[in-house]
Amino acid sequence: MSGGGEPCPVIADAGLIASAYARYLSDESSLAGGMPARILLPRSVGELSTAVRDAAGRAGSVTVSGGRTGIVGGAVPRGGEDLVSTGGLVGNPRPRWSDEHGSWMVAVPAGITLDALRAFLVSSELPPGLAYPVDPTEGGATVGGSVATNASGARTLRYGPTRDWVLGMSVVLADGSVVHLERGRAGAAAVPEVLRGLHAPGVRLPATKHAAGYRLTGDPVDLFIGCEGTLGVIAEVDLRLCEVPKGIAGVCAFLPDPAGCPDLVAGLKAGLGPDLLALEYFDARSLRLLSAWRAEAREASGVPALPDTPGGMLYVEMPYDGEAQLEKLADRLTGMLAAHGVDGAATWAAFEPDELAAMRTLRHALPERVNRLVAARAAGVPGLTKLATDLAVPDPALPAMMETYRRVFADAGLEHVIFGHIGNAHLHANLLPSTVEEIGRGRAACLELARAAVALGGSVSGEHGIGKLKKALLAIQYTPAELAELRSVKDRLDPCGVLNPGVLW
């Protein structure tokens, strides 16, 4: 454990913050924040240490800001506290071979974006084909932020979430001290005293994707992954690398009946298993929303002409290492789709990088269109916001959860779209309210859906975290006793409530 002594740039003028630094006052959640007392912009671990220690002593609390791509308001200042940005921690990544883990790894400053990391790995002198495989939607997210939220994404089906790829990290604690942690070294000699003995044995964790609360595995590295900056500020991360497939095939299958989708997903997972990278779903409402955007914006929308199909669309992504393997995979996939009533003519396939990029653009276009649509409506209705779920359930519960979505939204009469990571039984419902009254009905519907997901053994947050917007969901996920155990961890590491006030707690 060590501390820093290096000063860092400070912006203290409110007028300057409101103009030149206004980007630090919000994130992708559109949550309205307050004016911080100061913005601190550290450029090294030492400066970050000083910034946290000084901010804690001066303002009493710190909001931590990374790439601000989150959608639960975690990086939005409440007002009056200091805001510390990790975006200036951008030194060169440092790759090396790890005999201990039997793989290549790379030490990455927290402020580097995922896109920048990918570009570095492609241009470096590492063996060809090595990559960091976790693939969240936002390439502009920082590495530190993705670790702090345990980000995942479409390819979690094959590669798992961020947690599975973190081998170590440097973390600044609430008092400004710096600790370096390495996975697998949890003995007393390797762990600072403040981190020893932390446990929450009574806290149940769902057997799904899960990003709500703390995870205590006995390895302190896991404690900070997904903690949303409430236990420490991640300064640098050691990430494991792996070989990625030589080729990737993407197939869009248009479904004749939504009721058959869960069975099709189960069949594809059983039949293709490790030959799947991703399984993504768009309901029929999603496709109609995208088609309407294409009619409005034409080619600028990035959306191709989409068929009007009642069952929506399933996007299947598969790796392959040669033409022979690709042909076998294509035959197996075609047969499985046909067995579930999907006409081969009602599919699109992509093999080249530009074709795959177009399919990814289609996936990203949907939440972007939802955000724009709600923002346009909000311009005439103050207080209007998008509402969204992030619920994951165990695979066998997918049919019941999809039926629950259908019933709850039909009863509430709310405009919505459903899409996302159906291969992990992790779907996102986005509500598109037109009135403040619909906001109230939408919130009630989201709470009902969260209770249903937990009753099915699932999680109230599969990947986006809790932040400032979804704190009510913790009482659905955990019992009062479990919440008390989790809160004791926060009180042990941050007894004065310095880090990320209003996040989680």
pLDDT at 491: 94
CA geometry: angle 344, 345, 350, nearest 5 deg:
80
**270 shares a domain with 131:** no
Q: Would you say residue 339 lies in a domain? A: yes
**302 shares a domain with 186:** no
pLDDT at 500: 96
Count of C-beta atoms within a 10 Å radius of residue 84? 27
pLDDT surpasses 80 at 171: yes
More confident residue, 64 or 193: 64
Q: Would you say residue 83 lies in a domain? A: no
Q: Would you say residue 202 lies in a domain? A: yes
Quick one: angle between helices 436-455 and 398-412, nearest 10? 160
pLDDT surpasses 80 at 187: no
Q: How many domains does the chain have?
A: 2
Q: Where are the beta strands (DSSP E) in 213-277?
A: 233-240, 242-243, 247-254
pLDDT surpasses 70 at 420: yes
pLDDT at 188: 60
Q: Would you say residue 111 lies in a domain? A: yes
**431 shares a domain with 391:** yes
pLDDT at 56: 84
pLDDT surpasses 80 at 284: yes
**238 shares a domain with 256:** no
pLDDT at 2: 53
pLDDT at 218: 81
pLDDT at 394: 98
- Lowest average pLDDT, out of 121-130, 183-192, 328-337, 413-422, goes to 183-192
**310 shares a domain with 359:** yes
More confident residue, 457 or 216: 457
CATH number, domain of 143, equals 3.30.465.10
- Model confidence over 16-50: pLDDT tens digits? 999 999 999 999 887 888 999 999 999 999 999 99
In the block, residue with structure tokens 């590495």: 143
Q: Could you say which of 188, 210, 243 is where a domain stops? A: 243
Tell me the pLDDT band of 5, cut-offs 50, 70 and 90. low
Range of the domain at 416: 247-455
Q: Would you say residue 71 lies in a domain? A: no
pLDDT surpasses 80 at 200: no
**374 shares a domain with 307:** yes
Q: Could you say which of 193, 214, 243 is where a domain stops? A: 243
Residue-by-residue DSSP string for 437-497: HHHHHHHHHHHHHHHHHHHTT-BS-SSS--TTT-GGGHHHHS-HHHHHHHHHHHHHH-TT-
Q: How far apart are CA 452 and CA 225, in angstroms?
A: 26
**252 shares a domain with 235:** no
**224 shares a domain with 109:** yes
CATH number, domain of 284, equals 3.40.462.10
pLDDT at 50: 95
Q: Could you say which of 224, 243, 262 is where a domain stops? A: 243
**182 shares a domain with 264:** no
Whether the pTM exceeds 0.85: the reply is: yes
- Contact between 165 and 276 (Cβ < 8 Å): no
**105 shares a domain with 147:** yes
Helix (H) or strand (E) holding 343: none
HSE value, Cβ hemisphere, 13 Å, CA-based, for 412? 25
Is the C-alpha dihedral spanning 88, 89, 92, 95 positive or negative? Answer: negative
pLDDT at 363: 83
Is the C-alpha dihedral spanning 448, 451, 457, 458 positive or negative? Answer: positive
Q: Would you say residue 416 lies in a domain? A: yes
Q: Calculate mean pLDDT across residues 235-254.
A: 94
- Contact between 228 and 219 (Cβ < 8 Å): no
Q: Would you say residue 389 lies in a domain? A: yes
**303 shares a domain with 215:** no
Tell me the pLDDT band of 488, cut-offs 50, 70 and 90. very high
**264 shares a domain with 238:** no
Q: How far apart are CA 182 and CA 180, in angstroms?
A: 7
- Model confidence over 124-161: pLDDT tens digits? 889 988 999 998 878 899 999 999 999 998 899 999 99
pLDDT surpasses 90 at 364: no
pLDDT at 206: 95
Q: Would you say residue 414 lies in a domain? A: yes
